[in-house]
Amino acid sequence: MLASTAAATAQTRPAFEVDRIADGVFVHSGLQAEADDRNHGDIANLGFVIGADCVAVIDTGGSPYVGRALRRAIEVRTSTPVCYVVNTHMHPDHVFGNAAFADTDARYIAAAGFAHALAARRMTYLERAERTLGVAVSDGWIVMPDDVVDSRMRLDLGGRSLELTAWADAHTDNDLTVFDEASHTLFTGDLLFVDRVPAIDATLSGWLDVTASLDARAREVVHVVPGHGPVGQGLDAMLAPQTRYLEAIRDQVQSSIDDGYDLAYTTTHVARGERDRWLLFDDYHVRNVTAAYTELEWQ
Amino acid sequence: MTIKPSYNAAHTDVAPTRARASTAMLWLAGLCLLALMSTAVADVQRRDQDEAAWKSLRVEYFGDRAIADGQDVVTLDAPYRAEDPAVVPITITDQRAGTEASPIHKLWLVIDNNPVPMSAAFEFGPAARSATLALRVRVNSYTYIRVLAESSDGQLYMVKRYVKASGGCSAPIGRDLDAARNNMGQMRLRRVRVDGSDETRSQLMIRHPNITGLQMDQLTRLVEPPHFVDAITLRKGDALVLESTMTFSLSANPSLQFDVARDAAGDLGAQVHDNKGNEFRQTWPAEPGAAPTQTTADGKT
């Protein structure tokens, strides 16, 4: 395993592509794929915002390898220090690059539920990363926040500010969005999946509620950086397909329970019409239906 | 709250200690070696090793009794790749029901690579129409799931399925643990449809956190002590449908589908026991011709 790590490091590193989507706002688009030994877990969208005094990083990718590539992309564009590494939630594809910033003075920031949620899944996440990425992992991959967002927090980057918002249980129990007021850019984290099928890790009904709250702010937002999928404009239109999918699951699972169908039958019959509309549908859909069924059956 | 940029702020390291980390890594490395061997070859080797694990379990549980291939006796349905390792639906279908063959009167559920492989044992009484069951289990790592069936003439049969899933026993406890505790022991009985036909089975739903004891809170280093349903007995009138014992291999909020004899009279009674000595009882009045969707448990629908 160590040999393969060395081999990967020795390879010529491909340039880490980032797009400038607004003045001082850069995004790296992760692949729409599962993490594997070829993509190093580079499957989530990552970003950074450059102010006069500080850079803030928003998510760091699925391995330290990806985090280091992101750090190089920042360093070739600015000598301004990274003061903050913000995590939008605790999933490995968004946080396992955190270690790449461990030797900086950056403060790690996440929502209140982040530390507990990551700690509880630590072994499972590390084991899975080692298996799927094919590299040796270490506890250094687990980086806990220095500062916690209970509801709102502002980060002053010098000449521009970011507004961080922690949400009620939705995709996970520690979802956080980042809004750059200067460019009206919203980093949604995984509260928004575009093209890639959403994955429910906390609560379906909560996610739909939070979606409605996000949608209510759509007019303030110009640029939207989803957790997965292409960057775009028009938050309400970008949220619509995901809402349709989540509502289809909610409504059809509820009908299935009302009609007396059991879990096994329901997982193979609900919202199959969505199958051709999403990437990685077969990898996550049954789990989504299982989550919805066990959430709704006692209500 | 506003945080000003602070270049000189001391970096707080809250990562676990190195000593613990390196021990964990050694363990992880060993665990993951197999997984890293590529694909099909590793799969076969892994399964062979899993079969070896069964050989010792077999002796432990069944001694030197002969075990015949059970594929014509019971079928076991389980997803090959379980999407949620903490909620893996499995169905055991009794193929002898309604035939002249010696009826199945006992079933055992073995999940080879779970912390306690012998996951559940069922004994069926005269008020059971068949030994058909469906339940939801936790799967902790890639494993064979086995069902052993004993017919009333003393023959022992086995079927197995390989299931790819991991982390089911250590998956974090639902955030609503307090709610689960407050509602603990609440039960519902419903009729469920299992396919496109009008065929129905009864489903007992039990509110219970079913804590495995392996779900460590990494922040406090506390392990929530095991607390799970360990016995379920069902009767129709005075006649036994089934009695069963189980471990935390059953998912949180245990669910059990079973098949009651059509001619069995009387109320359906459930008696549920957990490892902390709690006992929950509930009775549902016989409702001939009740609609499949009717919920008669606790006044809720």
**Pseudo-torsion of CA B26, B31, B35, B41, nearest 10°?**
110
Give me the pLDDT at residue A18, please: 96
Give me the pLDDT at residue A168, please: 97
Give me the pLDDT at residue B28, please: 43
Which chain B residues are Cβ-neighbours of A154 within 8 angstroms? 1-3
CA B225-B231-B232 angle, 5° bins: 135
* Domains, chain A, ordered by start: 2-232 (3.60.15.10)
Structure confidence by residue, pLDDT tens digits, A154-163: 999 999 999 9
B residues 136-165 lying closer than 8 A (beta carbon) to A: 136
Residue in B28, B134, B193 closest to A260 by CB:
B193
Look-up of token digits 């068949």: B130
A183 near A24, Cβ under 8 Å? yes
User: Which residues, at least 6 apart from A255, have a Cβ–Cβ distance to it below 8 Å?
Assistant: none
Whether B28 and chain A come into contact, CB under 8 Å, resolves to: yes
Whether B10 and chain A come into contact, CB under 8 Å, resolves to: no
Whether B207 and chain A come into contact, CB under 8 Å, resolves to: yes
Give me the pLDDT at residue B169, please: 77
CA–CA min distance B133, chain A (Å):
12
Give me the pLDDT at residue A8, please: 43
Instruction: Indicate whether A76 pLDDT > 50.
Output: yes
A39-48, A176-185, B27-36: segment of lowest average pLDDT? B27-36
Instruction: Indicate whether A130 pLDDT > 50.
Output: yes
Give me the pLDDT at residue B64, please: 92
Give me the pLDDT at residue B5, please: 38
Q: Are A122 and B200 within 8 A, CB to CB? A: no
CA–CA min distance B15, chain A (Å):
6
Give me the pLDDT at residue B22, please: 43
- The bridge status of strand B156-163 relative to strand B68-69 is parallel
**Pseudo-torsion of CA A252, A253, A254, A255, nearest 10°?**
50
Residue of B nearest to A200 (CA): B84
DSSP code string of B218-268: TTTTEEPPPB-EEEEEEEETTEEEEEEEE-TTBPSS-EEEE-B-TT--S-E
- Considering only the top CATH level, what class is B34-284? mainly beta
Give me the pLDDT at residue B2, please: 40
Sign of CA dihedral A121, A127, A130, A133: negative
Give me the pLDDT at residue A72, please: 96
Q: Are A155 and B3 within 8 A, CB to CB? A: yes
Residue of A nearest to B214 (CA): A120
CA–CA min distance B14, chain A (Å):
6
Whether B2 and chain A come into contact, CB under 8 Å, resolves to: yes
| Amino acid of residue A183 | S
Which chain A residues are Cβ-neighbours of B16 within 8 angstroms? 139, 142
Q: Are B193 and A117 within 8 A, CB to CB? A: no
Q: Which of A34, A31, A32, A30 is nearest to A283 (CA)?
A: A34
Tens digit of pLDDT at every position of chain B (301 positions): 344 333 333 333 333 333 343 444 444 444 434 444 444 556 666 677 777 789 889 999 999 999 999 999 999 999 887 778 889 999 999 999 999 999 999 999 999 999 899 999 999 999 999 999 999 999 988 899 999 999 999 999 999 999 987 777 777 666 556 667 788 999 999 999 988 788 889 999 999 999 888 876 666 667 778 999 999 999 999 999 999 999 999 999 999 999 999 899 999 999 999 999 999 999 999 865 443 333 444 433 3
A70/A77 Cα distance (integer angstroms): 11
Give me the pLDDT at residue B287, please: 66
Give me the pLDDT at residue B212, please: 87
Give me the pLDDT at residue B56, please: 87
Instruction: Indicate whether A3 pLDDT > 70.
Output: no
Whether B53 and chain A come into contact, CB under 8 Å, resolves to: no
Give me the pLDDT at residue B294, please: 38
CA–CA min distance A218, chain B (Å):
24
